[in-house]
Amino acid sequence: MTMASLSYSIAANDVAVDIEAELRLWRTIHPDEPLHKQGLEFKHYVPTLKFGYDAYLLNYRTSLQDVLPALKTRYVKKLLASEQLDWTHAEVIIKSVWRRMSSAESRQRRSAGANDSRDRRSDLAR
């Protein structure tokens, strides 16, 4: 299953995500994803997934590589110890979320740009 159906929108320069739809998608693909650890139930991934989305929404104009060092510290401070995965595993999940959001944002912007071009051509034809 692909993760192409992101519940995501861009309004002006803001980014929004339907986290419940995203979690449903992750739950569906969870056992098939390389980030899945055998024996670890999906509920253990939820806090890290949410953290990954929050991190992206707060920093989407910055590259992940630039914010990743600070995210580790924030992860430890923001999540209860019982909610945390080991950082190596959490980092893989955060990177997966970031890639998903970044690629969806690019598609959304390209689509909006194509619509703007069509609208301009339509206006010129009138």
Taking residues 114-123, what's their average pLDDT?
51
For tokens 């929004």, the residue is: 16
pLDDT of residue 29: 84
Answer with the residue of higher pLDDT: 6 or 97: 97
- Distance between CA atoms of residues 21 and 5, nearest Å: 10
Taking residues 59-73, what's their average pLDDT?
93
pLDDT of residue 43: 93
Q: Taking 70 as the threshold, does the pLDDT of residue 114 lie above it? A: no
By percentage, how much of the chain surpasses pLDDT 70? 71
Taking residues 10-22, what's their average pLDDT?
73
pLDDT, tens digit, for every residue of 35-65? 778 788 899 999 999 999 999 999 988 999 9
What is the amino acid identity at position 89? H
- Distance between CA atoms of residues 83 and 66, nearest Å: 25
Residue 4 in tokens: 């192409």
Length of the chain: 126
SS3 14: strand
pLDDT of residue 111: 59
Residues 6+ apart with CB under 8 A from 96: 33, 35, 52
